[in-house]
């Protein structure tokens, strides 16, 4: 069975973003990408740290995020199953420079590089 990871960027009462993939990098990159696209108009994300909570959800289909509790729930059959957080990955987003826009391709490329750096530090 292939692994399945869920990465969540939690913005407290304001919601959050997630990425899900069989590869940790792709899951985290998706969560960061959607956080930037969805929340950059509400929060100043450039130059900040985003904390990505990572869960191993292999074998689970219906996932429910329970806010800041540190776990997700899934219903397998009639039973609720709590899935504990594997780790928290800190991603340092770049500062804006020149005519760069927070949702533009140059910023997003640099954000992807920051995700790669953060994931490699976690793997080491």
- Give 124's contacts (C-beta < 8 A, 6+ positions apart): none
The reported pLDDT for the residue numbered 18 is 92
Contact 96, 46 (CB under 8 A): yes
Both tokens assigned to 71? 């776990």
pTM of the model: 0.86
Give bridge partners of residue 54 from the DSSP assignment: 7, 87
The reported pLDDT for the residue numbered 124 is 55
Q: What is the pLDDT of residues 69-114, one digit of tens each?
A: 666 777 666 667 778 888 999 999 998 888 888 888 888 999 999 9
Q: What is the pLDDT of residues 48-73, one digit of tens each?
A: 999 999 999 888 877 877 666 666 77
Give bridge partners of residue 72 from the DSSP assignment: 65, 83
Q: What is the largest CA-CA distance in the chain?
A: 55
């Amino acid at each position: 069975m292939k692994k399945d990871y869920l990465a969540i960027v939690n913005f407290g009462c304001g919601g959050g973003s997630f990425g899900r993939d069989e590869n940790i990098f792709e899951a985290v990159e998706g969560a960061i990408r959607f956080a930037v696209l969805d929340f950059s108009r509400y929060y100043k994300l450039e130059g900040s740290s985003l904390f990505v909570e990572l869960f191993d959800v292999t074998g689970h289909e219906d996932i429910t995020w329970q806010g800041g509790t540190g776990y997700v729930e899934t219903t397998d059959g009639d039973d609720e199953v709590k899935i504990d957080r594997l780790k928290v990955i800190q991603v340092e987003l770049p500062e804006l420079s020149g005519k760069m826009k927070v949702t533009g391709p140059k910023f997003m490329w640099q954000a992807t590089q920051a995700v790669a750096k953060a994931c490699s530090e976690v793997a080491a």
